[in-house]
Structure 1
Amino acid sequence: MGNIPRKGSRDLVVDSAMSLEDGPSAALHSKLYEAIMREDCTTIEQTESIIPIHLAAKYHKAQSLLCLLQHGADPEVRDTTGLTTLNLMLLHWPVTSTTWAKPGNRMHRILTDIQNNAITCLRILCAHGAQVNAQGESNKRSPLHLAIAYDCYPVLSILAQNGADVNAINEASMTPLHMAANMLNKEMMETLIACGANVNCVVSSTGNTALKLAVCTASSKAGRLLGAGVSCIHLLLTHGAKVNAQDYKGQTAIHEACFGGREAIINLLLDFEANVNILTRNGESPIYMYLQRSFNVRDTALLARLLDHTYPLRMTNNQGILPAGIMLPEFRLLRDTLTKQSRKPLSLQGICKRNIRNIYGEKYKQHLKQLLPVAIWNSVYCCYDLANLLKQDLRASQQQGLSATPTAFSG
């Protein structure tokens, strides 16, 4: 029911535990003591997880924690749920944001002291042999996974410095970086990458990478949250994330981004040479994913850019099914135009021009202008190919009143 101290130190350990400063811990011990004296087995069973060192860690009592450890308390003793002292400390890490408190005022100092006390306790535990890679018996989450889940940012670097495995996996086969990317927590991602996290590690059950998880989450955001997501995606790409890595369904980050329809994410992936012609196992291209949602179809400027990178244009999946978003009556002309173009192969010259644009992208467009003769550059970047023809058809549909919504095909 408690830690077994070294011989001769029992009294000191008990006294240290009983002298914890706050009320809750003292009340818990009092309740247990009374239950033992009354032989109240029900209460004793309910409080069997009360372990002195756990109380010290939970309430961040640094002096009591140090005293217990110096006199033989075992930092690896587990409670009835299989959690160690370190696990419990992270589960009860103080949520103390100081960003809203004016620096230097009383509230800011209180919040800072609370955070510093927790950090001190963590350092004490690590210095006395706490296993920084010990997983919970029920969920297989390492301390790093717990730190991510409970937003304990200051913990990451301390655990890593003390030997925590930054590429450990939890019960869902996710590393800490997978979790941080899925949460779009850039600070944690930066720390993990700096500590050696593998940006291309895959989730064994799905094949997802941190990049694909970040794109998936960011694609559902807007405004500042979308901006934060784009920043996380850029961080992964600049640190070597493979932009065209496929999961077990054959999907890549650009598939996910196209389905989400966020221009900022799609443009960023294209800038890092995302391949818009990769097919999933079911034969779905990124443009197919984009056309799945009617909201996306109405953004003809982004649709045109994707089409400008797509060849051959594949409008159906392996079952011959067209994307759901383009099946609405208001998109009849667009559907017919795209279907027609998908059956019409480009000329060899057109394919070469498109490949040049795909390889060099917008990033090196002006650089190529300085190297290539004007006539060749104009031929590559100023030609009227599929995207331009599509926009002309869309404008024509507006003029003819074929669109159900006046703004449906605005370019």
Structure 2
Amino acid sequence: MGNIIKRSSRDLVIDSAKSLKDGPSTELHTKLYKAIMQEDCTMIKALLRNHPINEPIIIQAESTRYRPLLDQQTYSIIPIHLAAEFRKAQSLLCLLEYGADPEVRDPSGLTTLHLMLLHWPITSTTWTKPGNRIHRILTDIRNNDVTCLRILCEHGAQVNAQVENSNKHSPLHLAITYGTYSVLSILSQNGAHVNAINQSGMTPLHMAAAILNKDMMETLIACGANVNCVVSSTGSTALKLAVCTAASKAGRLLEAGVSCIRLLLIHGAKVNVQDHKGQTAMHEACFGGTEEIINLLLEFGANVNILTRNGESPIYRFLQRSSNIRDTALLTRLLYRTYPLRLTNDQRILPVGIRLPEFHLLRKTLVKLSQKPLSLEDICKRNIRNIYGEKYKHYLKQLLPTKVWNSVYYCYDLAYLLK
């Protein structure tokens, strides 16, 4: 099986400088580099008789464009890393069959699989016409990428090995970070832990939700991702992360965000989970003031009366921003689901937005409303709205007399308060 060195991966990297100094000539390294890039397996095997397979080779700057750096004349790389990064499938298979260790790490703490994911090319064919030359080329590249990944997995690559740096990303985390959507199912099929956590306590689904990547989210959920797993450091769920990101978007980006949020809710995301600060997805949605997101959360039973650890309700968060307050229709909808109405937090401080002079009349009116106890009838109406939400609003219309239904769901217009 060739000249295989029985040493640990870390020792190989630490001692790489000594190995290179005492190892084969520069000419041998250059020939091995070219053989790998040209996928000349016969030459690779011949050259490896004189070079330890798991130790780096030195590449001269004038002989290759590999990793061109301004102030370096030579570069070093382990043969299997070279084959993996450049998707040389035949060379990769040849090296593995000859005894290459897929778990040997580079100085950054990356395995062969890590490096493959970091250098995964973006080859989307959605913008090309099916069947044309560019489409065929991109399809071939994508298929070759997948072939290399499968070869690596079939020859013992550890699909749960974490990167040895501060992030502690698993291969699935790397796939999310670098947008390599197509590898998620392959890694999962080969034993990748879909609910693995990194140094920050985030799962791959948390990361996909935070960037609103629906394709990745769908794949991870299909592979068994826990939609209610919380980030250990913050207590956030994938739902809260998705709402936080989507609430700052508009247009198509907002539409995509709403789609991601709905996906999580349909697959069982708990809408009223509180993070370490006591905030829920509705607190985030109300602060963002995005009607589409608020309506969607209400449809799935979001509670607008939950308080944070600082005593802030969702409507308190809504009133923090003047742009939200001007949306009187949405403000009214929230007010008629809120009881008791708390306009201050535990420090008895009013929201910043409502303290602006332009909202003097509204502030005065809301303070009066917060001090006035509701009748039993009004409390019952609020409870019906909160229990059945928007989702079953029209179902109730079929069951209740028209007059009763109108009294439950009728909301007064507060627009006159802003004039």
* TM-score after normalising by structure 1: 0.86
User: Could you give the per-residue CA deviations for residues 273-327 of structure 1, whole angstroms, max 9, x where no partner exists?
Assistant: 0000000000000000000000000000000101111010000000111010111
CA RMSD of aligned residues (A): 2.5
CA separation in 1, counterparts of 2:276 and 2:72?
51
CA distance in 2, matches of 1:366, 1:381: 10
Question: Given the superposition, is the C-alpha separation of residues 373 and 250 from structure 1 closer, same or farther in structure 2, using an over 3 Å criterion?
Answer: same
**1:101 corresponds to which residue?**
128
Displacement of 1:368 in angstroms is: 2.0
Q: Counterparts of 1:263 and 1:166 in 2: how far apart (Å)?
A: 33
Equivalent pairs: percent with the same residue?
72
Partner in structure 2 of residue 31 of structure 1: 60
Q: Any residues of structure 2 matched to 1:290-305 within 5 Å, and which?
A: 290-305=318-333
User: How far 1:381 sits from its partner (Å)?
Assistant: 3.1
Matched, 1:76 2:76: no
Q: Counterpart of 2:90? A: 63
SS in 1 for 2:263: helix
Q: 1:127 aligns with which of 154, 157, 160?
A: 154
Provide the C-alpha distance between the structure 1 equivalents of 2:373 and 2:3, rounded to a whole number of angstroms.
78
Matching residue of 1:52: 79
How far apart are 1:102 and its partner, in Å?
1.5
1:267 maps to 2:283: no
Structure 1 235/4 Cα, relative in aligned 2: closer, same or farther at 3 Å? farther
1:73-132 deviation digits (Å, cap 9, x = unpaired)? 000000111100000000100112222222111111111111111111000000000000
Whole-Å Cα distance in 2 between the matches of residues 121 and 88 of structure 1?
A: 12
Of 367-376 and 190-199, deviating more is 367-376
- For 1:303-382, list aligned pairs within 5 A: 303-382=331-410
- Equivalence for 1:174: 202
Any gaps of 5 or more consecutive residues in structure 2?
7-23, 45-56, 64-70
Q: Tell me by how many angstroms 1:379 deviates.
A: 3.4
Which position in structure 1 is the counterpart of 2:37? 21
Give the secondary-structure state (helix, strand or coil) at the position aligned to 1:20: helix
Residue type of the partner of 1:130?
Answer: A
| Deviation sequence 1:146-187 (CA, Å, 0-9, x none) | 000000011000000000001011121110000000000000
Mapped pair 1:87 → 2:88? no
Alignment check: 8 A CA contact 1:6 1:71 kept: no
Superposed, 1:136-147 pairs within 5 Å as 136-138=163-165, 139-147=167-175
8 Å CA contact retained: 2:37, 2:83: no
Give the paired residue count. 373
Shift of 1:193: 0.3
Secondary structure in structure 2 of the residue aligned to 1:169 = coil
Contact 2:295 2:390 in 1 (8 A): no
Q: Distance in 2 between matches of 1:224 and 1:178?
A: 22
TM-score, length basis structure 2: 0.84
1:4·1:74 contact (CA, 8 Å) conserved in 2?
no
User: For residue 192 of structure 2, what is the aligned residue in structure 1?
Assistant: 164
Q: Partners of 2:317 and 2:125 in 1: how far apart?
A: 42
Q: Is 1:217 equivalent to 2:245 in the alignment?
A: yes
Residues 1:194 and 2:222 aligned together: yes
Alpha-carbon distance between aligned partners in 2 of 1:189 and 1:4, rounded to the nearest angstrom? 44
1:353-379 CA-partner distances (Å, limit 9, x unpaired): 111121112332332233234443343
Check the 8 A contact 2:33/2:59 in 1, yes or no. no
Q: Do 1:17 and 1:64's aligned partners in 2 also have CA atoms closer than 8 Å? A: no
CA contact (8 A) 2:102 2:113 kept: yes
CA distance in 1 between counterparts of 2:81 and 2:394 reads 63
- The structure-2 alpha-carbon separation of the partners of 1:298 and 1:4, relative to structure 1 and needing over 3 Å to count, comes to farther
CA contact (8 A) 1:294 1:326 kept: yes
SS across alignment from 2:336: helix
Q: Counterpart in 2 of 1:278?
A: 306
Contact 1:276–1:309 (8 Å) recurs in 2: yes
Give, in whole Å, the separation in 1 of the partners of 2:124 and 2:394.
46
1:83 and 1:286 map into 2 onto residues whose CA distance is 44
Match of 1:155 among 174, 183, 186: 183
Unmatched runs of 5 consecutive residues or more in structure 1: 35-41, 404-411
Runs of 4+ deviating beyond 4 Å: 13-18
* CA pair 341-69 structure 1, distance change in 2 beyond 3 A: same
Distance of 1:151 and 1:355 partners within structure 2: 44
